[in-house]
A and B are shown apart, each in its own frame.
Chain A
């Protein structure tokens, strides 16, 4: 079965510092990995995805993620955090022919001024 783990319920970082939100996955095949962000009382916004190719994926709002096959990880990163990045972040995985997108439990990012 496909699954995604986000080991941290919350990540705290000061504005201007780099941030990392962790995600590990477990699939029986080649994964397709996604990051979404959700602001309070809003829908999920797509940030970036990995399908194949370059292990470093660049996305919206200065976010990037690195696919690491040996560690089965897909951590979300940003070089310099903004207070406005404070939100709930979801990692998700899917497979070719698999009709579902499986979400992690979410990580709350809190960026302090």
Chain B
């Protein structure tokens, strides 16, 4: 089973709200990723976790805060977002870091009002 799940599927939030995106995998993968994707564009890497430690932060604004509570879970905490942050947020996981195949979840469609 190569399933990565993400909740919620859709999220609408105001600029003063605090919300969280959740991602879960039960494939025993030790690397997990957050990507941001705008319409008709490729995914942009935001964060990489390897063995539950933050490995890469692609200069993402501090209003995005990742968390990896255990090897199966990855969260993305959102606070004081801007309308330009509206996008599809994708989670992925892989056995270890690239070049192992990354498996993607269905994404959370975020709209910031």
Using a CB–CB cutoff of 8 Å, the interface residues on chain A facing chain B are 32, 34, 36, 41-46, 49, 51, 88, 90, 94-96, 98-101, 103-106, 108
Query: What are 10 pairs between A and B in contact, CB < 8 Å?
Result: A32-B99, A36-B104, A42-B106, A43-B104, A44-B92, A45-B104, A46-B101, A99-B97, A100-B56, A106-B41
Contact of A43 among B56, B98, B106 (CB under 8 A): B106
Residue of B nearest to A6 (CB): B42
- A49 & B101 in contact (Cβ 8 Å cutoff): yes
- B98 & A88 in contact (Cβ 8 Å cutoff): no
Using a CB–CB cutoff of 8 Å, the interface residues on chain B facing chain A are 2, 4, 6, 40-43, 45, 48, 50, 55-56, 88, 90, 92, 97-99, 101-107, 109
A87 to B102, CA, bound (A): 19
With A43-B90, A94-B98: A99-B55 Cβ-Cβ less than 8 Å: yes
- B41 & A43 in contact (Cβ 8 Å cutoff): no
With A105-B42, A106-B41, A106-B42: A100-B98 Cβ-Cβ less than 8 Å: yes
- A42 & B98 in contact (Cβ 8 Å cutoff): no
A100 to B34, CA, bound (A): 12
A112 to B88, CA, bound (A): 27
A104 to B43, CA, bound (A): 9
Residue of A nearest to B45 (CB): A100
- B101 & A104 in contact (Cβ 8 Å cutoff): no
- B40 & A44 in contact (Cβ 8 Å cutoff): no
Residue of B nearest to A41 (CB): B109
